[in-house]
Chains A and B, each alone.
Chain A
Amino acid sequence: MTSLQTLSSQASSLKTVDASLLIAGFENPVAQCQQAFRQLLSATSEPGTLQTMVATDAQPAGLNTASWSLALSLFDADCTVWLSPVLAAQPALVSNLLFHCQTRLVEHADEADFALCNADELDTLQPFSFGSAEYPATSTSLILQVPALSDECSLSAGSGWTLTGPGIKFSRHLCVAGLQDSLQQELIHSRNRFPCGIDCFFTCDHTLVALPRSTQLSIDQPIDQPTDQHSAQES
């Protein structure tokens, strides 16, 4: 009993559950978790395809539907999660993650199996774990909430990428809005560290796109935009 109490006091030393903020999880946990996991598999095996995730009635403030579905199906007591400062300041999100997922929230991003973050908060991948050559699977998986996603290059403010690699027959287009330039450059350069690397999941509203570390990225050449907008991104 003492050890149980120690465990729970360790967990609560970081954050505690506020019962008044709890919302319902999946209505049918087993089936919906499996469905969300299947959609995640499809997204990861075919990088760049948009998946519409299973939905819950409500999400905790700070998360979009797709991120909440991912959290409910992926996070459990055996994994560690890092929340970006803005998300960590949302008591409803913290309470619901602790209650529904019983997940361990960590303060340092490099200890995390999963990181949840908003696109405008992240300008570098450096804080996360890239895994080791012996155990590349121990890297952090990044769930990044972005303002818009498209598989056509139609988003004006977005960064257009051409994706190639496993799971893509020829090439695929992906447009992710709201990513910072430095993060984009790091994403592209981090491909050189394969098999180490960060698997990214971009979420927007109900939509999920996966960008596993095996996918090669190149920035689309601008068609109707002046070139100087993109020159700043080239190092």
Chain B
Amino acid sequence: MSASTAPVETAARQHWMAVLARADSAQLDTRWQALNLQPEYQFIRQPEIGLTMLRGRVGGSGSPFNMGEMTLTRCALRLTCGTLGVAYIAGRNKQHALTAALVDALLQDGSYHDRLQSELIEPLAAIYKKNCAARDAKTRATQVQFFTMVRGED
């Protein structure tokens, strides 16, 4: 894949796209508004809601099975400078997908990258991490250790 701007590291882009997708819509919107950026863009793919099949594997490594479908909103747009931004968001929030795609495009642009990274991605990632830790702690408290006694059968 060739980009018109400087090549962006895939892992770094995956990270910020994941942060944007997992962020709370309201928090993302507030922080995005606070940045007061109004880039011009053209839609390549309007924000649209669809379904995607979630697949799992028995025991994490067995044969794959279809677990169920989830709603997904996706969006692709191009800034006037030519950078393409893409977003896939769980749920049906079109504004969230649009904002995430815009941020993804701007993050690939050297002149906005550092500011967005420090004012948007890092705080959102920290909030996500904190929420995960809180939920994990809550879940861990309810953990029950099951064990099965060996019954002497072979």
Contacts and interface: CB of A to CB of B under 8 A. Distances in A.
A1 B65 CA distance: 11
Contacts of A22: 44, 76, 78, 84
B2 A20 contact: yes
Contacts of A27: 43, 46
B44 A23 contact: yes
A100 interface: yes
Interface residues of B, number: 16
Contacts of B42: 24
Contacts of A18: 1-2
Nearest to A23: B44
Interface in B45-98: 45-46, 48, 55, 64, 76, 78, 82, 84
B1 A24 contact: no
Given A3-B55, A18-B2, A20-B2, A100 B84 contact: no
A20 B64 contact: no
Nearest to B63: A3
Interface in A24-72: 24-25, 27-29
A140 to B, nearest CB: 28
Nearest to A26: B46
B4 interface: yes
A132 interface: no
Contacts of A23: 44
B55 A25 contact: no
A29 B1 contact: no
B3 interface: yes
Contact of B46 (A3, A29, A99): A29
Interface in B24-51: 42-46, 48
A3 B64 contact: yes
Interface string A94-105: 000001100000
Contact of A25 (B45, B64, B82, B84): B45
A20 to B, nearest CB: 5
Task: Kindly name the residue among B4, B43, B46 whose own CB sees the greatest number of chain A CB atoms within 10 A.
Answer: B46
B55 A4 contact: yes
A16 interface: yes
Contacts of B48: 29
Contact of A20 (B45, B46, B55, B84): B84
Contacts of B45: 24-25, 99-100
A2 B2 CA distance: 25
Given A18-B2, A19-B2, 9 more contacts: A3-B64, A4-B55, A17-B1, A20-B3, A22-B44, A22-B76, A23-B44, A24-B43, A100-B45
Interface of A: 1-4, 16-20, 22-25, 27-29, 99-100
11 contacts: A1-B55, A20-B82, A22-B78, A24-B42, A24-B43, A24-B44, A25-B44, A27-B46, A28-B46, A99-B44, A99-B45
The 10 lowest CB-CB distance pairs between A and B, nearest first, are: A19-B84, A20-B4, A22-B44, A3-B64, A24-B44, A19-B1, A24-B43, A20-B2, A18-B2, A24-B42
